[in-house]
Amino acid sequence: MTYQGLIQRYGRYLDLPDHTKTISLLEGNTPLIPMPRLGRQFGCELFVKFEGANPTGSFKDRGMTAAISEAAGRAVQTVICASTGNTAASAAAYAARAGLRGIVLIPEGKVAVGKLAGAIAYGAEVIQVQGSFDDALSLVVEITQKTPIALVNSINPFRIEGQKTGAFEICDDLGSAPDWLCLPVGNAGNITSYWAGFKQYQKGLPQILGVQAAGAAPLVLGHPVEKPDTIATAIRIGKPARGEQALDAAHESNGRIIAVTDEQILAAQKILSAEGVWVEPASAAGLAGLLAESAAGRFEAEGKRVVVVCTGHGMKDPSIITESFRSPKIIPSTYNALLDAIKL
């Protein structure tokens, strides 16, 4: 039978109500790409879980199929979310698929172009809020408490249910859980979901390395960050909704949550691109964290199986690349000019 999406494949492991009406874009089933060259550097068996291969280009589709399916099944008419971009694009696509009205709130001027374009293309009503993601989320919480609009941020428990499937897929692909799982942490829904997924699936438990950006690292600092700042827009979050659960996941797994600088994130992004895997900056944080821990002698990788979750596609945030590179050369349309340009 051809692949029919996450709820069809893993629904029996997901705590979704009976009224759930499956809305799917055949999300999930993303590649677990072996990275032998990079792995040799750490002496480990390294894989990238490439979540950019989801229908809207990020892992958010895993939770969104569940949240929108639940909402559609109880005849909700309008869904809303606050977003640093990828949740907006995902909510917009699944709302469109379900025939629902989709409203997304984004922090003004702080969303990468590929994400904003996605939300608009899928037909959501995009509203810019003069404030941070955290401010936008507070507004979304308030309006969904006072009106029948359904909230599809990751405070919505069904988002977490859907996102557990990332852990299931990794276990199914490897035959068991890896030794380490490294991933970026923003609002902390994903780390919460992975940990819940591994515990439920009973194929072993990884140690978890959660990675925040230094300018938006409330879980490392131990207090909220009023003005979070990082080029990794998807994790530019100062008050993670599931911060406690993220700390529990790191602690219970015998792992930790660390912070890396924007420079380290961009360097990791380049390393991944050089292996043919282009991810958006936030998505490179997991590898940046692994590199930093390894360099500091805090990561015993030898002989271990390590999965780095790359949460979103590089095409989401193309300007970060084009701004830091010179424009491609221009040549006359002649063979000699070409030979000259490539200096064989």
Ligand X SMILES: *Cc1c(COP(=O)(O)O)cnc(C)c1O
Site for ligand X in 121-140 (CB under 6 A): none
Q: In what order do the strands lie in the sheet with 45-50?
A: 32-34, 45-50, 305-310, 180-184, 207-213, 256-260
Interface segment toward ligand X; rule CB under 6 A; list 184-192, 247-255, 289-297, 334-342? 184-192
Pick from 104, 280, 290, 291: which binds ligand X (CB under 6 A)? 280
d(CA 310, CA 317): 14
Closest C-alpha to 42, from 285, 255, 296, 251: 296
Q: Contact at 8 Å (CB) between 219 and 257?
A: yes
User: How many chain residues bind ligand X (CB under 6 A)?
Assistant: 19
Name the closest residue to ligand X (Cβ): 312
| 56 is a site residue for ligand X (CB under 6 A) | no
Q: Contact at 8 Å (CB) between 240 and 212?
A: no
Shortest distance, CB of residue 235 to ligand X, whole angstroms?
5
| 185 is a site residue for ligand X (CB under 6 A) | yes
Interface segment toward ligand X; rule CB under 6 A; list 23-31, 135-143, 256-264, 275-283? 275-283
Pick from 66, 150, 283, 293: which binds ligand X (CB under 6 A)? 283
Interface segment toward ligand X; rule CB under 6 A; list 186-194, 199-207, 270-278, 289-297? 186-194
Tokens 């979070």 belong to residue:
228
Alpha helices, H only, 19-148: 36-42, 60-73, 86-98, 113-121, 133-146
| 188 is a site residue for ligand X (CB under 6 A) | yes
Shortest distance, CB of residue 215 to ligand X, whole angstroms?
15
| 234 is a site residue for ligand X (CB under 6 A) | yes
| 22 is a site residue for ligand X (CB under 6 A) | no
Question: Strand, helix or coil at 72?
Answer: helix
Residue 10 or 59 having the CB closest to ligand X: 59
Pick from 20, 58, 245, 253: which binds ligand X (CB under 6 A)? 58
| 189 is a site residue for ligand X (CB under 6 A) | yes
Q: What would the two tokens of residue 331 be? A: 């040549």
| 114 is a site residue for ligand X (CB under 6 A) | no
- The CA-based angle 146-147-148, given to 5 degrees, is 135
| 282 is a site residue for ligand X (CB under 6 A) | yes
What are the residues whose beta carbons fall under 8 Å from the beta carbon of 30, sequence distance 6 or more? 49, 50, 51, 52, 53, 54, 169
Shortest distance, CB of residue 296 to ligand X, whole angstroms?
23
DSSP annotation string for 282-330: GGGHHHHHHHHHHHTT----TT-EEEEEE-BBGGGSTHHHHTTSPPPP-
Residues of this chain that interact with ligand X (CB under 6 A) are 58, 60, 86, 154, 184-191, 234-235, 280, 282-283, 311-312
